[in-house]
Chains A and B, each alone.
Chain A
Amino acid sequence: MNQWSREIWVASVLAALLALLAVFAPAFYAPMPLLSRCSEQAPALIMTVGMALLIIARQIDVSVGSQFAVCAVIAGTLTAAKAPLVIAVATAIAAGGAMGALNGLLVAGLGLPSIVVTLATMATWEQALRLFQQGRFVALPEGTQWWGLGQTMGQWTLIAAACLITAAFAVAMKHTSGGRRVYAVGSDAESALLAGIDPRKTVFRLFILMGLLAGLAAALNIVRSPQVDPKAGLGLELKVIAAVVVGGVAVSGGRGSVWGASVGLLLLATINPALTYLHVDAYWEKATQGVVILAALIADSLKRRTHAGR
Chain B
Amino acid sequence: MPADSMPAEIRPTKAAARAAAMPWHELVLLAFVAAELLFFDVTGRRFLTGDNLANILRHSTELGLLALAMMPVILTGGIDLSIGSLLGLSTVLFGKMVDEGGLSPLCAGVITFLAGAAAGGLNALLIGALRLPPLIVTLGTYSLFRGLAEALTKGTEIYSRFPPYFLAFGNSRIGPLPAQGWILAAAAILFWILVHKTVLGRCWRAIGYSPEGAAHAGIAVKTRVATAYIIAGAVSALAAIVYTARVAQGRADAGAGYELAAITAVVLGGSSIFGGSGSVPGTVLGVAAIALLSNGLGRIPAAMGVSRELAGMMTGALLLAALSASALARMASERRARRT
Contact = CB atoms under 8 A, between A and B. Distances in A.
Interface in B312-336: 312-313, 315-317, 319-320, 323-324, 327-328, 331
B312 A120 contact: no
A293 B316 contact: no
Given A283-B154, A301-B132, A120 B145 contact: no
Given A289-B143, A294-B137, A294-B144, A301 B263 contact: no
Contact of B313 (A106, A127, A284): A127
Interface in B251-274: 257, 260, 263-264, 267, 273-274
A124 B320 contact: yes
Interface string B296-308: 0000000000100
A126 to B, nearest CB: 8
B135 interface: yes
B319 A120 contact: yes
Interface string A265-292: 0000000000000000101111111110
Query: Which label, helix, strand, loop or mixed, suits the secondary structure of the A interface?
Result: helix
B310 A120 contact: no
A160 interface: no
B80 to A, nearest CB: 12
A138 interface: no
Interface in B287-301: none
B324 A131 contact: no
A292 B180 CA distance: 38
B133 A251 contact: yes
Given A127-B309, A131-B306, A287-B143, A106 B136 contact: no
B148 to A, nearest CB: 5
Given A120-B316, A123-B316, A288 B257 contact: no
Contact of B323 (A112, A291, A301): A112
B260 A289 contact: no
A106 B322 CA distance: 12
A116 B131 contact: no
A15 to B, nearest CB: 24
Contact of A283 (B145, B150, B264, B324): B150
B144 A131 contact: no
B191 interface: no
Contact of A281 (B151, B260, B313): B151
A124 B317 contact: yes
Contact of A106 (B126, B141, B146, B320): B320
A103 to B, nearest CB: 10
A290 B312 contact: no
B315 to A, nearest CB: 7
Contacts of A130: 309, 312
B147 interface: yes
B151 A116 contact: no
A39 interface: no
Contacts of A238: 139, 142-143
Given A115-B79, A298-B130, A286 B135 contact: no
A119 B155 CA distance: 25
A58 to B, nearest CB: 10
Interface string A41-70: 000000000000000000010000000000
Contacts of A184: none
30 contacts: A60-B135, A110-B327, A110-B328, A111-B331, A116-B273, A116-B323, A120-B260, A120-B264, A120-B320, A121-B320, A122-B260, A124-B316, A126-B312, A127-B310, A128-B309, A245-B136, A281-B151, A287-B150, A287-B151, A290-B145, A290-B147, A291-B144, A293-B140, A293-B143, A294-B137, A294-B141, A297-B132, A297-B137, A301-B130, A302-B130
Closest 9 CB pairs of A and B: A287-B147, A290-B144, A286-B147, A124-B316, A290-B143, A127-B312, A293-B140, A123-B316, A127-B313
Interface of A: 60, 106, 110-113, 115-117, 119-124, 126-128, 130-131, 238, 241-242, 245, 251-252, 281, 283-291, 293-294, 297-298, 301-302
